[in-house]
Structure 1
Amino acid sequence: MRAWKQCGAAVALCAALGAANAQLLIGQTAGFTGQVAAGVKETSDGAKLYLDSVNAKGGVNGQKIEVVALDDKFDPKLAADNARKLIEENNVLALFLNRGTPHTEAIIPLLDKHGVPLVAPSTGAMVLHQPVRKYVFNVRATYQREAEKAMTHLASMGISRIGVVYADDSFGADGLAGAQKGLVAAKITPVLQEKFDRAKPEFTPIAAKLAKADAQAVLIIASGSAVVDANNAIRAAGSAAQIVTLSNNASAGFVKSLGANARGVIVTQVYPNERAVTYPMVKEAQELARAKGLGDISPAMLEGFAAAKVLVEGLKRAGPKPTREKVQVALESLRKFDLGGLEVTYGPDDHTGLGFADLSIVGTDGKFRR
């Protein structure tokens, strides 16, 4: 049985197939096309690695898992519509591994209305951590923690002329708050702090301002192709500023899209080095990837892999006849659950899960180096 079924507009058909073939139906809405497609594919591939291995051994409590995946094209309104279809028409037990901050915010009212848990939204927005969202179970550190760490790292290198460029949405504002914490701690005033239209970004004027300000480094808080376009514009403007971005861009596909401008880009990370086999989770993911002939794993794949481990544990603890409520209660019961070198803990007052944060830099070989 396939662990993943990506559906387009034919939701009714997809629902019928799911009912016929899957006993544990999980829903996913994410930007399989559009500016975050590369990262979404890799996180989904990483999750599929683990779910396939579980299904090959008989599934969970004798029942196999199937993910019904819908493409929201990275549009928050479409994400909410997809979530409604998955919950009300497909009757999924839980939602899983969606992508984007405003997208997750658009889904939350549906989670609350129907009592549906959301496992591992692929976003580190603080709004999903504080206050605690009853049905949202994060499996990664916050963007604020990442951005703050990036700023303190730059300051420790003697870099003081720092610019911050961010999308004009909740994700951009969230990352900016973390960057400001780091800048204040380092007693640095940014040489430029500029937002751009998420829907219609125009980076040429911003790049000119960065070049004029002689910025030594710039944190770009944006997704996928927007960061690529900003990077290209900055280089075209003659600026040699160090480019820094957050872990939502920690995918091999993102590096590839940077092309000749990839080398030296700093990307924050929320999981251990994908080659650090001292972590049992990393070793397990590598072995499963090799067995499927997939080659190297990426940080984005590792995020999906970890997310799938948390989902499966929640399903196991929900028992042989799981309901949405049982899955939610089971997830909240996790205490020091070992992913393989990293522990996840939830409780009524804490749905963060993990706090790991690190930095990486893209090397000459196009791979992330720690």
Structure 2
Amino acid sequence: MDAALAQGALRIGMVAGFSGPVASVVQESAEGARLYFDAVNAQGGIKGQNIELVTQDDKYDPATAAAAAKSLASQGVLALMLSRGTGPTESMLPVLKDNRLPLIAPATGAISLYEPIQPYVFHLRASYQREAERAVRHLAGIGVKRITIVQVNDPFGNDAGKGAIKGLDEMKLRAMSHLRFDRNRPDLAPTMQAIAKANIEAVVFIGPAYAVVEGVNALRAAGSTAHVATLSNNASADFVKALGENARGIIVTQLFPYERSTSNPLVREALALAKAAGRHELTPAQLEGFAAARLVVEAIKRAGKDLSREGLLKALDGARIDLGGLQVHYTEKDHTGLEFTDVSIVGPDGKFWR
């Protein structure tokens, strides 16, 4: 019997950076997952057992992430979910293999986790490259031609940067420049001053929230009114708050339906549960966590009597799952998940508008 069952709960692990550079968005995604798990538990759980989300802070560090995943595996979790960051998630792969432990809906779109297929990783969100392509298509669609790419010089930045280049190629455009910065010491003021002098019309800014905030503030201080597009890793309330007055007009890619669109069944359900819990709105990261939790619950239900890691893996491979207007289909050769991408713009009220 799994340790999870022996303790009378279905334990799902989440290893992510609850402290460090991605803490705010990690916390929001965990809140979204708990919103759905709490609702399921309030109705009796699954086969009379509650779902428990067990979290460990990896501080956005790969070695810490691997150790945390190993620790949770030894505690009998049925699966992991919502890991964040390319390096931390990649570091967990040997742990997943050694323990035949599924990782469901990692909050990373690194192409290295899609190709070649990772048998224990089941994606929900679209890839970073697809996100960056979408950002470029949006900019080109509003008539922007003089575009610069500014990316963090790490696996995440390099991966998403390729998507931005692909998007430009598809729109028959070329980047005016493709600039890189150090994650630990961005020092972006000189770069932004140069961009402002070059009369760049738009910046595709790929990086962690603190670096993008620093860069946008420096860009505006240099007098540039260029459009700024960034990726969904920065779709959090804290990102907008950190930008202050400079948040207005920032374009942020999104990988799930508009979190205020009551015409979408997933969003409608999430908003109803949020209001019942005393919340009046959702962030994009909370909606992602909610969708991930729905996927986990559906997989557990389809495992039938075999509430084990092996049963979960069998239930996911070959599954067609409707998450509420979002269709997910996995096969033994394809764990891609959704291809949905969209863009939002931060409005004058500090909310993400579409």
Indicate the TM-score class for this superposition, using the shorter chain for normalisation. over 0.9
User: Which residue does the alignment assign to 2:249?
Assistant: 264
User: Which residue does the alignment assign to 2:333?
Assistant: 349
Q: Kindly indicate whether residue 298 of structure 2 is the aligned counterpart of residue 313 of structure 1.
A: yes
CA apart distance, 1:237: 2.3
Structure 2 counterpart of 1:24, one-letter code: L
Greater mean alpha carbon deviation, residues 200-209 or residues 359-368: 200-209
User: Which residue does the alignment assign to 1:24?
Assistant: 10
> Cα deviation per residue 1:38-65 (whole Å; 9 max; x = unaligned)?
1111111111110000111111122111
CA apart distance, 1:321: 4.1
Structure 1 counterpart of 2:323, one-letter code: L
User: Which residue does the alignment assign to 2:258?
Assistant: 273
The runs of 4+ residues in structure 1 deviating greater than 3 Å are 18-22
User: Which residue does the alignment assign to 1:12?
Assistant: none
User: 2:329, 2:164 → 1: CA distance?
Assistant: 26
CA apart distance, 1:156: 2.1
Which of these residues, 39, 58, 62, is aligned with residue 76 of structure 1? 62
> Cα deviation per residue 1:279-319 (whole Å; 9 max; x = unaligned)?
11101000100001011011111100100000011111122
Structure 2 counterpart of 1:35, one-letter code: P
User: 2:287, 2:212 → 1: CA distance?
Assistant: 22
Structure 1 counterpart of 2:59, one-letter code: K
CA apart distance, 1:354: 0.8
User: 2:243, 2:8 → 1: CA distance?
Assistant: 39
Which of these residues, 40, 48, 53, is aligned with residue 54 of structure 1? 40
SS of the counterpart of 1:163?
strand
Query: Do 1:117 and 1:136's aligned partners in 2 also have CA atoms closer than 8 Å?
Result: yes
Unmatched 5+ residue regions in structure 2?
none
Q: Kindly indicate whether residue 202 of structure 2 is the aligned counterpart of residue 237 of structure 1.
A: no
User: 1:111, 1:209 → 2: CA distance?
Assistant: 45
Structure 1 counterpart of 2:295, one-letter code: V
User: Which residue does the alignment assign to 1:358?
Assistant: 342
Which of these residues, 309, 313, 322, is aligned with residue 324 of structure 1? 309
Q: Kindly indicate whether residue 167 of structure 2 is the aligned counterpart of residue 182 of structure 1.
A: yes
User: 2:56, 2:100 → 1: CA distance?
Assistant: 20
Q: Give the alignment of 1:277-316 within 5 angstroms.
A: 277-316=262-301
User: 2:137, 2:194 → 1: CA distance?
Assistant: 23
User: Which residue does the alignment assign to 1:11?
Assistant: none
User: Which residue does the alignment assign to 1:65?
Assistant: 51
Q: Give the alignment of 1:196-215 within 5 angstroms.
A: 196-215=181-200
User: 1:22, 1:200 → 2: CA distance?
Assistant: 47
SS of the counterpart of 1:350?
coil
Query: Do 1:61 and 1:319's aligned partners in 2 also have CA atoms closer than 8 Å?
Result: no
Identity %: 52
TM-score w.r.t. length of structure 1: 0.92
User: 2:66, 2:242 → 1: CA distance?
Assistant: 28
User: Closer, same or farther in 2 for the Cα pair 1:348/1:19, shift >3 Å?
Assistant: closer
Q: Give the alignment of 1:161-180 within 5 angstroms.
A: 161-180=146-165
User: Which residue does the alignment assign to 1:369?
Assistant: 353
User: 1:110, 1:35 → 2: CA distance?
Assistant: 24
CA apart distance, 1:187: 2.1
Structure 2 counterpart of 1:173, one-letter code: N
User: 1:22, 1:168 → 2: CA distance?
Assistant: 45
SS of the counterpart of 1:68?
strand
> Cα deviation per residue 1:165-192 (whole Å; 9 max; x = unaligned)?
1111111111111100111122222122
Greater mean alpha carbon deviation, residues 119-128 or residues 232-241: 232-241
SS of the counterpart of 2:37?
helix
Structure 1 counterpart of 2:39, one-letter code: S
Greater mean alpha carbon deviation, residues 79-88 or residues 47-56: 79-88
CA apart distance, 1:22: 4.7
Query: Do 1:192 and 1:210's aligned partners in 2 also have CA atoms closer than 8 Å?
Result: no
User: Which residue does the alignment assign to 1:110?
Assistant: 95
CA apart distance, 1:212: 2.6
Number of equivalent positions: 352
SS of the counterpart of 1:49?
helix
User: 2:154, 2:99 → 1: CA distance?
Assistant: 27
CA apart distance, 1:20: 7.9
Indicate the RMSD between aligned Cα atoms, in angstroms.
1.6
> Cα deviation per residue 1:138-167 (whole Å; 9 max; x = unaligned)?
111111111111112211222111111111
User: 1:324, 1:166 → 2: CA distance?
Assistant: 38
Unmatched 5+ residue regions in structure 1?
1-15
User: Which residue does the alignment assign to 1:8?
Assistant: none
User: Closer, same or farther in 2 for the Cα pair 1:295/1:21, shift >3 Å?
Assistant: farther
Structure 1 counterpart of 2:173, one-letter code: I
CA apart distance, 1:30: 0.8
User: Closer, same or farther in 2 for the Cα pair 1:173/1:22, shift >3 Å?
Assistant: farther
TM-score w.r.t. length of structure 2: 0.96
Query: Do 1:98 and 1:122's aligned partners in 2 also have CA atoms closer than 8 Å?
Result: yes
